[in-house]
């Protein structure tokens, strides 16, 4: 054992130091909390196994793919208070670039069923693409709706007409431009929704659209 005056002095100071009880918000989990945590960990492990059953074993064996499952608190009052988040991450280069996907099941891990995972998992070709470092979006973006037929209405201005468009409030909120097309529509708009005009502004290369064929929205340019 260590000996000497300095050691003896330190031992006396430690012996004489009063013992203090730690105060603060720390507490040992009770039995119910410990059981709940154990159940949660087991459920997360089960969800992870379901997810990994879809992934080629060699992707997991060499750690090219990592699966992470966790519970996250959702702050949106319109959604479930706790989601089970699933992350499938493929490392595609040494600079830290990753590909893969993340999706959530709107319930605690203990309430997740295998069919929930079956419905959310991507097809096999996605894993092959991610393993090659390719970016492939899952869940796949929704298909754009059918455009439908434009309204059978005669418009006031022809293609090529010079007009003024209201782009801001006030008397100075008008910008000159030229009509470039009739019945403009963005791909993601609901079926049957069209804007009467698409216009190229003189001040830029940008194209805008007029949502209504009214003077408070678009009017003839006064030369």
Handedness of CA 75, 78, 82, 86 (dihedral sign): negative
Q: How many CB atoms are located within 10 Å of the residue 60 CB? A: 13
The pLDDT tens digits of the residues spanning 13-52 come to: 444 545 555 555 666 668 888 899 999 999 999 999 999 9
Q: What count of other Cβ atoms lies within 10 Å of the Cβ of residue 199?
A: 27
pLDDT of residue 108: 92
Strands 174-184 and 195-201: antiparallel
Question: pLDDT value at position 223?
Answer: 74
How many other C-beta atoms lie within 10 A of the C-beta of residue 163? 19
For residues 7 and 178, the model is more confident at 178
pTM: 0.56
pLDDT of residue 9 exceeding 50: no
Q: Which position has the token pair 């894993």? A: 127
Say what the pLDDT of residue 94 is: 54
Lowest-confidence pick of 1-5, 44-48, 178-182, 216-220 = 1-5
Cα dist. 1→14, 17, 108, 190, 208 in Å?
Answer: 17, 22, 54, 83, 86
pLDDT of residue 26: 61
């Amino acid at each position: 054992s260590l000996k000497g005056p300095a050691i003896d002095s330190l031992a006396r100071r430690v012996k004489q130091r009063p013992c203090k009880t730690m105060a603060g918000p720390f507490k040992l989990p009770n039995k119910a909390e410990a059981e709940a945590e154990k159940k949660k960990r087991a459920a997360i492990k089960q969800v992870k196994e379901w997810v990994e059953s879809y992934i080629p074993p060699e992707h997991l064996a060499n750690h090219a793919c990592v699966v992470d499952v966790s519970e996250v608190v959702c702050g949106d009052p319109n959604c479930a208070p706790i989601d089970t988040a699933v992350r499938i991450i493929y490392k595609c280069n040494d600079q830290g670039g990753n590909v893969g996907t993340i999706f959530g099941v709107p319930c605690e891990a203990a309430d997740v069923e295998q069919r929930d995972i079956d419905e959310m998992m991507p097809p096999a070709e996605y894993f092959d693409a991610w393993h090659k470092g390719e970016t492939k979006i899952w869940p796949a973006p929704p298909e754009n709706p059918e455009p439908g037929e434009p309204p059978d209405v005669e418009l006031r201005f022809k293609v090529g007409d010079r007009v003024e468009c209201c782009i801001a409030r006030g008397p100075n909120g008008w910008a000159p431009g030229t009509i470039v097309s009739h019945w403009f529509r963005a791909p993601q708009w609901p079926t049957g929704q069209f804007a009467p005009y698409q216009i190229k502004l003189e001040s830029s290369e940008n194209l805008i659209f007029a949502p209504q064929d009214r003077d408070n929205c678009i009017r003839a340019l006064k030369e």
